[in-house]
Structures are given as structure tokens and as C-alpha cells.
């Protein structure tokens, strides 16, 4: 089941119900009981998930960056603070690949929380709606660039307009989870690099993938993730 709502004035979608009495969350509440170090590690695995899944899907990942939280100003209502970023070069790719790349961050962070025994109703919700605010904003940006309708666990709508694309984000979550499970050692390796160095270049990322897994620096795309027919381009 998916929930649609608002947190700190921003539209959010999540699999997890809001365990808090308000939609306005102060910084302490938004931490969900995690220490600054735990939040930083969660953010590192988030950015590493984007980077590794992007490379696996053939997207031109050029750099991954992890910001130091103490250097960031609090976000005013209706905005969000980026705790990291993964940059892409120009590309033409299946729409599903781009959406999977965008959703891979929160799913990698979710797995890290689970492995560290830090996953609670609060941290699961906050990972989606605070940690994933920038990713959900990226989906809205895609909608401004092409006619596409996103759904969240309800499948293809009967009212989909002619010539519009459709992506169900719940299916994308499952797809991202499968890739994250397959490439988890590489994701943790990139996350640890980001924690140590705050950024990773394209060469750093490919070297980490090759060293960690003893595979080609351009990983083979899993057979069940054949390219989709709908292409998305970004100059």
C-alpha cells in the first residue's frame, strides 16, 4: 500500500504511513533517532545506490558527491536540502532505467538501515520522504519534460492519455531492489569511499566496481533487465 501526502510543504509518496502527528517535521524529528554519523552513512549508501545502479544500467555517471551535513543550512518549508548528488552526462536511455536510477538511492539506504538494525516505522518513513525528497522532485522534473504519468502501486490507469508513457513506481522499487541486492558489495564499497573522501570521480567509481567485484569496469546488464522501448534523452 502506498500513501500520498505532504511533509514540510512538499508532496511525497511512500510505502510507509506517517508515524508522527504532524506533517511539519523539525530537524530532530526528521532524524528519526539516528545520530549524525548514522545519517551520514545512510546518505552515503543513498548516493552509492544511485551511482552503482546508474553504471549497471549504462547511464553516463560522471561523479558522486556526499555533503557534510553540518555544513548544510536547514531547509525552509517547501524546500529540501541535498545531502549528496550523482551527476550524469548526456544520454539517451530507456525511461524505466532513468526512473530506476532515481529510486535506487532510497532503496539502497533502506537496505543499509535494515542491515544495521536501524529500520523502524519512523526511519523507513523518513528515508522515503526526507531522504528521497530530491529523488521524487526528479520524477516531477521528468513529467515537465515529456508526457508521462507515474502511478504508485496501482498499475496502468484506464484513463492514460494517448501517446503518454506510464511508469508504476512500485514496480521500479522492485526492480531497484533486485539490482541493489545483486550489486550490494559494490554499493557498500562506493559508500565507504564517499565517507572517506566526500566524492568519487567517474574513474574512481569504475575502479571501485572493478576492484570490489573482479568484474569488468562496465558491468554486464542483467538479462532480465533488457532495455525498454521507450527512450528518454537529456543533452
Task: Give domain limits for the chain.
Answer: 34-234
Give Cα separations from 63 to 5, 60, 191 (angstroms). 32, 9, 13
Rounded mean pLDDT of 157-180?
Answer: 84
Instruction: Provide CB contacts within 8 A for 188, sequence distance 6+.
Output: 45, 48
Bridge partners of residue 92, in order along the sequence? 233
Tens of pLDDT, residue by residue over 179-219, are 999 999 999 999 999 999 999 999 999 899 886 654 444 45
Cα-Cα end-to-end distance for the chain: 36
Bridge partners of residue 66, in order along the sequence? 84
In the chain, DSSP assigns E strands to 3-7, 10-14, 61-66, 84-88, 91-94, 148-151, 165-168, 199-201, 231-234
Q: Give residue 105's pLDDT.
A: 96
Task: Tally the C-alpha atoms within 13 A of residue 59's C-alpha that lie toward its C-beta.
Answer: 28
**Residue 178 reports pLDDT greater than 60:** yes
The pTM score is: 0.86
For the record, the C-alpha cell of 75 comes out as: 531547509
* Residue 50, H or E segment: helix 36-56
Rounded mean pLDDT of 70-90?
Answer: 71
Place domain 34-234 in its CATH homologous superfamily: Peptidase M41 (1.20.58.760)
Amino acid at each position: 500500500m502506498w500513501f500520498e501526502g505532504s511533509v514540510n510543504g512538499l508532496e511525497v509518496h511512500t510505502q510507509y504511513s506517517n508515524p508522527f502527528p504532524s506533517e511539519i517535521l523539525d530537524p530532530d524529528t526528521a532524524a528519526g533517532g539516528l545520530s549524525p554519523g548514522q545519517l551520514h552513512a545512510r546518505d552515503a549508501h543513498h548516493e552509492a545506490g544511485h551511482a552503482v545502479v546508474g553504471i549497471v544500467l549504462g547511464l553516463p555517471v560522471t561523479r558522486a558527491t556526499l555533503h557534510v551535513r553540518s555544513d548544510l543550512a536547514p531547509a525552509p518549508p517547501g524546500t529540501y536540502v541535498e545531502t549528496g548528488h550523482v551527476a550524469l552526462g548526456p544520454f539517451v536511455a530507456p525511461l524505466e532505467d532513468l526512473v530506476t536510477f532515481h529510486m535506487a538511492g532510497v532503496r539502497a539506504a533502506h537496505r543499509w538501515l535494515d542491515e544495521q538494525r536501524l529500520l523502524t516505522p519512523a526511519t523507513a518513513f523518513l528515508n522515503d520522504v526526507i531522504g528521497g525528497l530530491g529523488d521524487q522532485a526528479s520524477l516531477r522534473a521528468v513529467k515537465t519534460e515529456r508526457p508521462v504519468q507515474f502511478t504508485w502501486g496501482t498499475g496502468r490507469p484506464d484513463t492514460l492519455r494517448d501517446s503518454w508513457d506510464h511508469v508504476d513506481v512500485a514496480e521500479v522499487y522492485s526492480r531497484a531492489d533486485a539490482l541493489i541486492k545483486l550489486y550490494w558489495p559494490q554499493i557498500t564499497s562506493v559508500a565507504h569511499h564517499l565517507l572517506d573522501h566526500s566524492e568519487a570521480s567517474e574513474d574512481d567509481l569504475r575502479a571501485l566496481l572493478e576492484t570490489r567485484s573482479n568484474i569488468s569496469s562496465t558491468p554486464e546488464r542483467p538479462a532480465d533487465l533488457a532495455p525498454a522501448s521507450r527512450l528518454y534523452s537529456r543533452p
